[in-house]
Each structure stands twice: as C-alpha cells, then as structure tokens.
Amino acid sequence: MAVVEPFLIAEKVTSLPGQPQVSFQQFSRYITVDEKQQRALFFYFVEAELEPASKPLVLWLNGGKIIGDQDAPVPFTGSQTLVNGLAKELGLKITVPYRAWFEGKQVGGWTQVDGDNQLSFASIRGASHRAPATQPARSFSLFKAFLTGKPLPNA
C-alpha cells in the first residue's frame, strides 16, 4: 500500500455506506477557492487497486470529471486553475498545450495534458453543470476517450 502524506490523513475515507471492504485508499473533502464568495470545489480521490504509484491521477471535481464551459456553479476556469496549480505543485510540465478537441467537425471542448498523461484537464463546449444532460454526444466522446486512455480527437 502507498504511503499517505500527513496532510491527507484527515481527508481519508475509511468506509462509505453500503461499500464492501476495499483494498485501496480513498480521500475526499472540499477545497475553498473563494472565501469571500463562499465557493469551494469538492474532490473524491480513489487510489488504484494495483500498483497505485504507477497509475495516472484522476481528479473528480464537483460531480465528475466531465465539466462544461457553461457551468455557472463551478466555472471551468476555476477547475482549470486548480488543475494547473496541482500540476505545478507536482512538478509536471505541459506535454499537450491547451487546445480544442473535436466531436466530429465541431469543437467539443478544450483540453491540456501535463506530464506523461499523468494529469489532464478537459471541458465540454456548450455544456452546463450536468454536462451529459446538455451535451450528450460531446460528453460521451470525452468519457470514451478517458476509458480507452486515448487522447481527445484533433480536428
């Protein structure tokens, strides 16, 4: 099992309702991004079951990895800033510069990759807080790329 950094001990989830005993670690909490406006991002991190130190990081923010650029409750610029800060803290260099990705002949959203595919940011053009409900084809394309480990399509 991987070593847990001291600052994460408070965020460690030991069990969830209805969850059977698991062999991986999981963490969750809110991160304040604007005290004055009382805004925070929620994260839920689940360690890979096998060889967690060699697996890429997946960061779920406020309801999932899929965010829209029309998301008023969680503006994508806030999520992008958080991901950029995490990349800097981890010492990851940009390997795929910020660019548009495509669904068919239309811009599907925007993406950036840091490190050797260790950390990615992606948004869905024209989607609201519930991206799959407002942009199902684009959401599916992003999710399919994520599950298959392939980059989001270029033009």
Residues 72 and 127 in one domain: yes
14-39 exposure pattern, b = at least 16 Cβ within 10 A, e = fewer: eeeeeeeeeeebbbeeeeeeeeeeee
Dist. CA 147–CA 132, nearest whole Å: 16
Of residues 143 and 43, more confidence is placed in 143
Whole-number Å distance between alpha carbons of 28 and 44: 4
Q: Is the pLDDT of residue 129 over 60?
A: yes
CA distance 19 to 115: 33
Residues 47 and 99 in one domain: no
Domain check: are 25 and 94 in the same one?
no
Domain that holds residue 138: 59-155
- pLDDT digits over 19-72, tens only? 888 888 888 777 676 678 776 666 777 777 888 777 766 655 543 445 566 666
Average pLDDT estimate for 68-90: 73
Overall pTM surpassing 0.75 (yes/no): no
Q: Are residues 46 and 78 in the same domain?
A: no
DSSP three-state, residue 27: strand
Average pLDDT of the segment spanning 112-133? 82
State whether 135 and 90 are in the same domain: yes
Residue 110 and residue 149 in one domain: yes
Give pLDDT, residue 19.
Answer: 83
In single-letter form, the type of residue at position 100 comes to A
Q: How many domains does the chain have?
A: 2
Out of 39, 55, 71, pick the residue that ends a domain: 55
Q: What is the CATH number of the domain that holds 71?
A: 3.40.50.11320
With a cut of 90, say whether residue 100 has pLDDT above it: yes
Note whether 33 and 89 are same-domain residues: no
What percent of the chain is helix, strand and coil (3-state, nearest 5)?
25, 30, 45
Q: Do 50 and 84 share a domain, yes or no?
A: no
Q: Are residues 37 and 5 in the same domain?
A: yes
Tell me: do 51 and 84 sit in the same domain: no
48 and 122 share one domain: no
Q: Based on the fold, state whether residues 44 and 26 are members of the same structural domain.
A: yes
